[in-house]
Amino acid sequence: MGEGEVEKFFAIGDIHGNLSQLEQLMEEIKPALNQQKDTLVFLGDYIDRGPNSKGVVDLILQLRKDLPHVVCLKGNHEAMFLDWVLNGRNYDLYLYNGGAATIRDYSQKGEFKLPQEHLDFFTSLLLYYETEEYIFVHAGLRGGIPLEEQDPHDLIWIRDEFILSPHNYGKIVIFGHTPLQQVFIAPNKIGIDTGAIYGGKLTCLELPAQRFYSV
């Protein structure tokens, strides 16, 4: 990185199968993204409810091949998907949370077929990503617990206990998971799930500039 050049991060919120919005968002951030140096961080929930979960994963896999710095976190929807695919558990819970759309995407002639590359993607997802100034996580953290000791369930499911907490986590926490009508900004956290699946926008946060892109 050149002298005086700031390391940039582009964090993208919950996509939920909205491939066209993700494609538009990538076009939107393209002029600002240094493809060789900046880091793209996906906060999870790539699948379920929306029209093209498989297409979203295909696009992210292509981005991981094209760009050297792409970080993909696990959302609660990927956790539910894997619980069913790998363990045969909680099928009803998964369907209740929009899983039927994803199952349909991966079905050929009525048979569910998950490509190995996609399974490898889902099993490779991280629970959090930490830098010098930020913690990126799908849902949030529980106050007073070191990052490495956080309950994985909290990292992908927690809501109000985290969002309403004034706790100082030592770094700014960037999160998704809880859909809000607009970006949530507090001194200790920034929430960027702006409800793309519910007719809202798909949002990207550029750091450290704290610039937002929404489509």
The reported pLDDT for the residue numbered 6 is: 84
Mean of the per-residue pLDDT values of the chain: 96
The CA R_g of the chain, rounded to the nearest whole Å, is 17
Q: Select from 139, 74, 77, 138 the least CA-distant residue to 102.
A: 77
Chain segment 85-122, per-residue pLDDT in tens: 999 999 999 999 999 999 999 999 989 999 999 999 99
* CATH superfamily ID and name for 9-30+38-76+115-214: Metallo-dependent phosphatases (3.60.21.10)
Q: How far apart are CA 203 and CA 188, in angstroms?
A: 19
Chain segment 142-194, per-residue pLDDT in tens: 999 999 999 999 999 999 999 999 999 999 999 999 999 999 999 999 999 99
Element at 11 (helix H, strand E): strand 9-12
Chain segment 53-91, per-residue pLDDT in tens: 999 999 999 999 999 999 999 999 999 999 999 999 999
Residue 124 has, within 13 A of its CA and on its CB side, a CA count of: 14
Are the C-beta atoms of residues 140 and 60 closer than 8 Å to each other? no
pTM assigned to the model: 0.97
pLDDT at 5 over 80: no
Are the C-beta atoms of residues 23 and 30 closer than 8 Å to each other? no
Q: 3 pLDDT band (50/70/90 cuts)?
A: low
Backbone angles phi, psi at 42, to 5 degrees: -95, 130
Chain segment 24-63, per-residue pLDDT in tens: 999 999 999 999 999 999 999 999 999 999 999 999 999 9
- Tokens 């695919």, located at residue: 85
Q: What is the amino acid identity at position 83?
A: D
Chain segment 193-206, per-residue pLDDT in tens: 999 999 999 999 99
pLDDT at 4 over 60: no
Are the C-beta atoms of residues 147 and 164 closer than 8 Å to each other? no
For the chain, the domains span 9-30+38-76+115-214
Provide CB contacts within 8 A for 77, sequence distance 6+: 16, 44, 45, 46, 47, 48, 97, 98, 99
Q: How far apart are CA 22 and CA 44, in angstroms?
A: 13
210 token code pair: 């704290």
